[in-house]
Amino acid sequence: MAVTQLVGAKIHRREDPRLITGHGHYVDDFLRTGMVYAAFVRSPYPHARVRKIEVTDAAKAPGVVAVYTARDFKSVITGATHPATPSFVAEKKHVPERRPIAETEVRFQGEPVAVVLAESGAQAVDAVGLVDVDYEPLEAVTDIEKAIKPGSPAVHEGAPDNICWDLAYAGDDVTAAAFAEADVVVKERIHQQRLAPTSMEPRGVLAEYDPYDKKLQIWMSSQGPHFIRLFISGALGLPESNVRVVSPDVGGGFGSKISPYPEDYLVAAAAKLSGRPVKWIETRTESIQNTTHGRGEIFDIEVAAKKDGTLLGLKVTQWLDCGAYTATFSAFQPCACLMAGGAYKWKGISARTVGIFTHRVPTDPYRGAGRPEATHLAERAVDLVAREIGMDPVDIRRKNFIQPQDFPYTQNFGLVVDSGDYDKSLDKALELAGYKELRQQQADLRKQGRYLGIGLSTWIEICGFGPSAATAPATGGIALVESAQVRVLPTGSVIVYTGSHSHGQGHDTTQAQIVADTLGVPYDSIEIRHGDTAEGPAFGYGTYGSRTLAVGGLAIHMACRRVIEKGRKLAAHLLEAAEDDVSYEQGKFMVKGSPDKAKAFGEVAFASYGAGLPDGMDQGLEATAYFDPPNFVWPFGAHICVVEVDPETGSVDLQKYVAVDDCGTVINPLIVEGQLHGGITQSIAQALFEEVVYDPESGQLKTGTMIDYAVPTANEIPDLVLGSTVTPSPSNELGVKGIGEAGTIAASAAVINAICDALSPLGIKHIDMPASPDRLWRQINQARATAGNGQKGVKA
Amino acid sequence: MIPAAFEYEKAGSVEEAVSLLQRFGEDAKILAGGHSLIPLMRLRLAQPSALVDINGVKELNYVRLEGGKLRIGAMTRHVELQNNDLVRQNVPMLAEIADEVGDNQVRNMGTIGGVLAHADSAGDYPTLALMLEAELVTNKSRYQAKDFFKDVFTTAMAADEVLCEVVFAVANGPHKYIKFRRRLFDWAIVGAGAQKLNGGWRIGLTNVGPMPVRATAVEQALASGATPEQAAEHASDGLNPSGDLRASPDYKKHLARVLTKRAIQQAQGA
Ligand SMILES: Cc1cc2nc3c(=O)[nH]c(=O)nc-3n(C[C@H](O)[C@H](O)[C@H](O)COP(=O)(O)OP(=O)(O)OC[C@H]3O[C@@H](n4cnc5c(N)ncnc54)[C@H](O)[C@@H]3O)c2cc1C
């Protein structure tokens, strides 16, 4: 026990003063002597043959140092690039080889065909315009429904049917009994539009190669620098130990900065080829065009239930747009199938996932990655059934929840849900929202022809990746455990090296809170270091999948414990007491029963660097730990959204948003709230605003700027009413889960359920995202026309 | 996001700006608030050979009430239009529109002259200028608003012409401008304005075609006693808007009718 308990304290983020006042260090803030700037020549076509690339004019342009095409990189990029992990998909039908730069054929708009290096960024961009590429445009397919039709152009020769994978987790035999028993069966097709991750800081890479020591240093905006080191050293044929990757302050990632990108390989290789440090910073348009997209799926679902609301069976088919290649973690998204049952008990769930190639930039994890889709699907499914049988959405949920006494609960796909109390969070959310009054208000407004809607999302999440037994096969060998090293300096201050990486989550604060409590040392004497492969344990696993606290936090906690154990041995020696008689409390090693016989932590630290240690004890006070969690962790919660739809214009007024979330033990409530604000906003963004749009004819990206790619701002989001329940996770000693993705996983379903609820008098059952005014107006019109209920048809 | 190279000069007066434009030739552009021009340059959709910066031209920055007319210098910024008492009292709809242009950064930099000269089909002031029959004064001539806007991004001005002043007749009766958009700082998907003036109604529409639209059919219907609902049905007469990411053509026409109805009703209610 520390003197003051920091875990649970609402303290401000220690990194904020630096970041908010512009004193952070992002990739673009790093300069190297002799540095040149890279700009990429990218395909304007979604699919074309590259006949010839003429670089003469560009090479002669002012300031240009070099122009490289695929051929030039062959001598430098000798190893494999762009690995595709097997992930949750046990078998893949076809994983095409992917090179970072196209030589003869381009397969998505934005794919690089040449790189220009110049003395200034402006000169590099100018010279890009002088590279003359002779393309022969080929027929492209940018839509998954078309891609799987016979006769559709094949994205890869090896997959003439454009199928990357087609896998059934469980066949219809599993659901046959449930469907036979059913009183009602509802079917729906649910679209998950492509989203652009749009982190505040786009990607960026700075690479410097030292030909004498054969060392490569890379500064880049990454969520997992150790993985990048692994990939790049392999591709460039360098020993992993000769490559250092630094991921300094990073302005957001949302999953899009995990996988290696073409530019990562090409900038590093260009530094080696040119002998100059090379910097590339992605533009916003490049980011929307080339950074992997999220979602991009169609789900076909069938739900079987009894008249009394008992859920029986669920059939799910996921059609996933892989884009032009299988991205590194693309196959993670099928976890949507494994989580499709949500917070409910089902007799049977059958699920099939189909990955499909199209001529678009690849998709990869984006905040939530598969789990937002699962929630959206499950929460839409229960609402569809409730509507069909005329049951309140609250009641159907309660009737089917996995109950507190059921945990640990083995769900339909064998995953063990460790804990939960779904009624409790729902109760609290209903109370905060004033559910009963809302229903009354809704009834009153309906009489006036107004459309108020109330939507629920009682979400659950799997996170904290993850147990080695589950993740090593899924990543192709490296288990997603986490590592930390805790070093106590002679004066007792502490440096912690962690393999996770903070890119907005506030780890410098929360991890120091854990250390302060576990080690009993002052918060201000704890330094958290991450993001540099040259520091800390041999390998770090990075930050994604809401895993940092539940895995990385525990590694830190474990390493602290080991430090205390060594400290106790040393203290016992110094105090001439038996080790078992020495306790550690409030920063002091004490002999039990004689409190005046004590050594402060700092004294022990200092002594550990001195002479006269116990026999066999090394100097120093430090420990390394790798934490391999016994299970995933399972956050949950209940969100309620209230909207009013203007039936005349189709616009949605978001009136209220209530979220009660349970992430187990809370380290810092302020940071939890911050994560929820961002997460919920990102999910509301999917529900109402954002979509990456390509022209269906030409395959050209139409949402290439922030004017067209409609990221909402604080103006569009109502004040969020947040509440919490605390159900500690039994899977780790701190009782913690994750909160980074919770908001994103929960909110889209609450918003769409609210809109469907609002429009239920018109017979509207389902609405796709984004629920834009135009789309809603059209659907309202259609519903009125079909109902033929005497309302005046709207002329156009 | 790096513009192509260009030359740059600061002008101290309109006269100097004109001579600089003449010296640099056809491809030179005036730089006012830069909030339309610079984004286009960054995307390289515009590549002017030279910019003539008129931010230092003091003679273009004023709001005056003279002879019953509100005279506004071309370099008057949105933030000034929002807060200026003369504007608020004499053409209050202009101040209200200014309140809703972009965000603070845009309003602190963007100018009324810039919006009018740029002639974006989603610009709000062109609609107001058209429906209130404003006069646009350049260094060479005076234009009626209806003769000024020629097409999207195209005005009657020559390459070496500088817009100096916008002149509005006082219009301080019932009015309402409704800008329909998804995000607070977005341009209008469709905009509709209604202003009571000299006993009749003026109705204008934004972003339902390449140029601002005056809905004369609605004005006439109102004049002959139609209700707002009835009159607004004519708001889409003759419109042929192009669709974009946010709205299909028929939705834009629908919005023109709905927003026109609401603008008239709200103006009446005010
Ligand atoms: C995010 C965002 C949202 C916006 N939303 C809206 C909106 O909702 N409604 C709206 O109306 N506008 C909107 N704008 C545009 C904004 O009002 C701009 O300020 C305006 O369009 C241009 O004015 P400017 O002074 O910035 O002109 P600049 O960008 O400097 O110039 C625009 C063009 O006009 C020419 N020009 C400028 N002044 C003169 C002059 N005196 N004589 C001759 N030519 C001249 C320039 O050469 C250039 O071609 C938005 C802008 C942004 C960035």
Question: Using the beta-carbon criterion (under 8 Å), do B187 and A796 form an inter-chain contact?
Answer: no
Asked if A454 and A439 count as a contact pair (C-beta separation under 8 A), the reply is yes
The CA distance from A163 to B238, in Å, is: 48
Burial-class residue A477 by CB neighbours within 10 Å (0-12, 13-18, 19+).
exposed
pLDDT at A1 over 50: no
| A197 occurs within a structural domain | no
> Would you state the pLDDT for residue A793?
42
- Is the pLDDT higher at A3 or at A587? A587
| B114 occurs within a structural domain | yes
> Would you state the pLDDT for residue A474?
78
Residues A656 and A594 reside in one and the same domain: no
CATH number at residue B221: 3.30.390.50
Query: What is the CB neighbour count within 10 angstroms for residue B99?
Result: 14
Asked if A546 and A678 count as a contact pair (C-beta separation under 8 A), the reply is no
Residues A521 and A647 reside in one and the same domain: no
Q: What is the DSSP letter of A152?
A: P
Asked if A739 and A655 count as a contact pair (C-beta separation under 8 A), the reply is no
Of A126, A716, A796, which has the smallest distance from its Cβ to B4's Cβ?
A126
Query: What is the CB neighbour count within 10 angstroms for residue B27?
Result: 12
Q: Which of A519, A558, A516, A517 is nearest to A537 (CA)?
A: A558
The CA distance from A406 to B168, in Å, is: 74
Query: What is the CB neighbour count within 10 angstroms for residue B240?
Result: 11
CATH number at residue B146: 3.30.465.10
| A753 occurs within a structural domain | yes
Residues B185 and B110 reside in one and the same domain: no
Per-residue confidence band for A85, with pLDDT thresholds at 50, 70 and 90: confident
Angle subtended at Cα A394 by Cα A392 and Cα A396, rounded to the nearest 5 degrees: 75
| B2 occurs within a structural domain | no
Instruction: Name the domain count of chain A.
Output: 2
Q: Which of B169, B202, B225 is the endpoint of a domain?
A: B169
Residues A651 and A736 reside in one and the same domain: yes
Please name the helix (run of DSSP H) or strand (run of DSSP E) that holds residue A711, with its range, or none: none
Rounded average pLDDT over B220-234: 97
- Is the pLDDT higher at A594 or at B155? B155
The CA distance from A712 to A710, in Å, is: 6
The CA distance from B103 to B256, in Å, is: 24
Q: How would you classify the pairing of strands A215-220 and A243-246?
A: parallel
Residues B181 and B246 reside in one and the same domain: yes
Question: Using the beta-carbon criterion (under 8 Å), do A773 and B189 form an inter-chain contact?
Answer: yes
Residues A784 and A696 reside in one and the same domain: yes
Residues A502 and A593 reside in one and the same domain: yes
pLDDT at A2 over 60: no
Residues A436 and A517 reside in one and the same domain: no
Q: What are phi and psi of B154, to 5 degrees?
A: -135, 130
For chain A, what is the radius of gyration of the CA atoms?
Answer: 28
Residue B8, beta-bridge partner list: B51
Residues B84 and B165 reside in one and the same domain: yes
> Would you state the pLDDT for residue A88?
60
Residues B200 and B142 reside in one and the same domain: no
- What is the residue type of A733? E
Residues B152 and B192 reside in one and the same domain: no
Of A126, A693, A796, which has the smallest distance from its Cβ to B254's Cβ?
A796
The rounded percent of chain A whose pLDDT value lies above 90 is 91
Asked if A518 and A526 count as a contact pair (C-beta separation under 8 A), the reply is no
Residues A468 and A492 reside in one and the same domain: no
Residues A453 and A539 reside in one and the same domain: no
Task: Please state the separation of Cα A362 from the chain's center in Å.
Answer: 15
Residues B49 and B75 reside in one and the same domain: no
> Would you state the pLDDT for residue A744?
98
Residues B67 and B26 reside in one and the same domain: no
> Would you state the pLDDT for residue A87?
65
Q: Which of A187, A169, A643, A194 is nearest to A380 (CA)?
A: A187
pLDDT at A674 over 70: yes
Q: Which of B144, B169, B194 is the endpoint of a domain?
A: B169
Predicted confidence (pLDDT) per residue in A8-18, tens digit = 999 999 999 99
Q: How far is CA B256 from CA A392, B232, B263, in A?
A: 38, 8, 10
Residues A635 and A783 reside in one and the same domain: yes
**Residue A486 has which token pair?**
């805790």
Residues A597 and A508 reside in one and the same domain: yes
Predicted confidence (pLDDT) per residue in A216-271, tens digit = 999 999 999 999 999 999 999 999 999 999 999 999 999 999 999 999 999 999 99
The CA distance from A49 to A509, in Å, is: 51
The length of chain A, given as a count of residues: 796
The CA distance from B235 to B219, in Å, is: 9
| A701 occurs within a structural domain | yes
Asked if A106 and A134 count as a contact pair (C-beta separation under 8 A), the reply is no
| A721 occurs within a structural domain | yes
Question: Using the beta-carbon criterion (under 8 Å), do B5 and A796 form an inter-chain contact?
Answer: no
Asked if B46 and B37 count as a contact pair (C-beta separation under 8 A), the reply is yes
The rounded percent of chain A whose pLDDT value lies above 70 is 98
Q: Which of B169, B184, B210 is the endpoint of a domain?
A: B169
The CA distance from A463 to B242, in Å, is: 46
> Would you state the pLDDT for residue A174?
96
Query: What is the CB neighbour count within 10 angstroms for residue B57?
Result: 24
Rounded average pLDDT over B121-138: 98
Compute the distance from residue B126 Cα to the ligand 1 centre, in Å. 11
Task: Please state the separation of Cα B126 from the chain's center in Å.
Answer: 3
- What is the residue type of B249? P
Per-residue confidence band for A796, with pLDDT thresholds at 50, 70 and 90: very low
pLDDT at A123 over 70: yes
Domain of residue B43: give its range: 7-53
Please name the helix (run of DSSP H) or strand (run of DSSP E) that holds residue B222, with its range, or none: helix B216-223
Residues B165 and B179 reside in one and the same domain: no
- Closest Cα to atom 4 of ligand 1: B102
The CA distance from A776 to A769, in Å, is: 10
Q: Which of A236, A275, A266, A324 is nearest to A112 (CA)?
A: A266
B251 interface with A at CB cutoff 8 Å: yes
Tell which of A128, A283, A649 to mutate to test the B interface (max B CBs under 10 Å). A649
Please tell me the least confidently modeled range out of A63-72, A326-335, A343-352, A678-687. A326-335
Q: Which of B76, B85, B91 is nearest to B133 (CA)?
A: B91
Burial-class residue A795 by CB neighbours within 10 Å (0-12, 13-18, 19+).
exposed
Question: Using the beta-carbon criterion (under 8 Å), do A649 and B258 form an inter-chain contact?
Answer: yes
Predicted confidence (pLDDT) per residue in A762-775, tens digit = 999 999 999 999 99
> Would you state the pLDDT for residue A89?
65
| B237 occurs within a structural domain | yes
Which single residue is written with the structure tokens 């929002």?
B82
The CA distance from A569 to B163, in Å, is: 84
pLDDT at A681 over 50: yes
ipTM of this complex prediction, to 2 decimal places: 0.95
Domain of residue A554: give its range: 482-627
Residues A705 and A744 reside in one and the same domain: yes
Question: Using the beta-carbon criterion (under 8 Å), do A284 and B250 form an inter-chain contact?
Answer: no
pLDDT at A701 over 70: yes
Question: Using the beta-carbon criterion (under 8 Å), do A710 and B183 form an inter-chain contact?
Answer: yes
Q: Is the peptide bond before A408 cis (omega within 30 degrees of 0)?
A: yes
| A183 occurs within a structural domain | no
Per-residue confidence band for A329, with pLDDT thresholds at 50, 70 and 90: confident
- pTM of the complete model beyond 0.90: yes
Predicted confidence (pLDDT) per residue in A29-74, tens digit = 999 999 999 999 999 999 999 999 999 999 999 999 999 999 999 9
Pocket test for ligand 1, best of B115, B149, B166, B246 (most atoms within 8 A of CB): B115
Mean pLDDT of chain A: 95
- What is the residue type of A680? I
CATH number at residue A795: 3.30.365.10
| A699 occurs within a structural domain | yes
Per-residue confidence band for A794, with pLDDT thresholds at 50, 70 and 90: very low
With a Cβ cut-off of 6 Å, ligand 1 is lined by: B 29-37, 39, 74, 101-102, 106, 109-111, 113-115, 117-118, 120, 123-125, 162-163, 185, 187-188
Residues B195 and B262 reside in one and the same domain: yes
Chain B nearest C-alpha distance from A715 (Å): 6
pLDDT at A356 over 60: yes
> Would you state the pLDDT for residue B139?
97
| A696 occurs within a structural domain | yes
pLDDT at B9 over 80: yes
> Would you state the pLDDT for residue A792?
47
Predicted confidence (pLDDT) per residue in A503-516, tens digit = 999 999 999 999 99
**Residue A660 has which token pair?**
């009660």
Which single residue is written with the structure tokens 């109902």?
A787
| B1 occurs within a structural domain | no
The CA distance from A250 to A260, in Å, is: 16
- What is the residue type of A471? T
Tell which of B179, B230, B250, B260 to mutate to test the A interface (max A CBs under 10 Å). B250
| A354 occurs within a structural domain | no
Instruction: Name the domain count of chain B.
Output: 3
> Would you state the pLDDT for residue A538?
86
Residues A573 and A658 reside in one and the same domain: no
Residues B68 and B48 reside in one and the same domain: no
The CA distance from A558 to A550, in Å, is: 12
